[in-house]
Amino acid sequence: MTTPKVEVRVTADGSSTLYVPELDEYYHSTHGAVQEAQHVYLAAGLEPVLTTPTSPVRVLEIGFGTGLNALLTLQRSLASPYPIRYDTIEKYPLPAAVIRELGVERYVLNPELLDYHQQLHNAAWDTLVVLTPRFALHKITGALQDTPLPNDTYHVVYFDAFAPEKQPDMWTNEVFAQLYAATASGGVLVSYCAKGSFRRSLKAAGWLVEKIPGPPGKREMTRARKALECL
């Protein structure tokens, strides 16, 4: 699998993202990559899960990309009472040269976090790697549709695929049914996307869907929940 050509761009909050000329698409919001990740995936997805005693917290990310969501989740785990097991699926892992070009040292000023950023990218693919006593990482190469996932497992799903019009095969009823089956009772799926077609596909797969305020530059985003099982 060949990674598409990418170009490093600086977003409005000073953090970096990647632009894919072939798709005319960005990996993150140009209004702020870190702001978007914190708002969509941490605040709307992970934080509510951390209020409920769960050990370990199981996170599934669709699209490892630059590793930003994983880095922020690892950072949050350092102050959490619950360890986090972080699984992420990526069809096109980025070359080390591209990761260096991101220049994360410009906006990640904590030396410990910079070291963790390097560890995230150096971690072997397709094997579980324990990075801290509270954070274990499993990077999986390949397409989501071809990846067997355990049933009733994940407490939060970060759905961070390219936009539906750029990557339509990732936004199908079948994909969201696959993720629904893999999500634990009461678990959530969060995405920057708020398109009506996306919400309809989620509902068709059984998710309970809500629109909530989006990150800077975006009015709305989507959070979906798998209903709690009744005893």
Give the tens place of pLDDT for each residue, 102-145.
999 999 999 999 999 999 999 999 999 999 999 999 999 999 99
Q: Residue 55's pLDDT is what?
A: 77
* CB of 54 closer than 8 Å to CB of 96: no
**Mean per-residue pLDDT for 7-12?**
96
pLDDT higher than 90, residue 163: yes
Pick from 120, 106, 99: which is nearest to 34 by CA?
A: 106
**CATH architecture designation of domain 7-225:** 3-Layer(aba) Sandwich (3.40)
pLDDT higher than 70, residue 174: yes
CB atoms within 10 A of CB 188: 23
Q: Give kind and range of the element (H or E) at residue 184.
A: strand 183-191
Q: Residue 230's pLDDT is what?
A: 52
Helix, strand, or coil (residue 33) = helix
Task: State how far the Cα of 207 lies from the Cα of 101, in Å rounded to an integer.
Answer: 39
> Rounded mean pLDDT of the chain?
95
| pLDDT bracket for residue 231 (50, 70, 90) | very low
Pick from 10, 45, 46, 5: which is nearest to 23 by CA?
A: 5
Q: Residue 1's pLDDT is what?
A: 56
Q: Which residue has the tokens 């996932």?
A: 149
Q: Residue 2's pLDDT is what?
A: 67
| pLDDT bracket for residue 90 (50, 70, 90) | very high
What is the CA 90 to chain-centroid distance, rounded?
10
Main-chain dihedrals φ then ψ at residue 90, nearest 5 degrees: -140, 125
Query: Which is it for the CA torsion 156, 160, 161, 165, positive or negative?
Result: positive
pLDDT higher than 70, residue 52: yes
pLDDT higher than 70, residue 211: yes
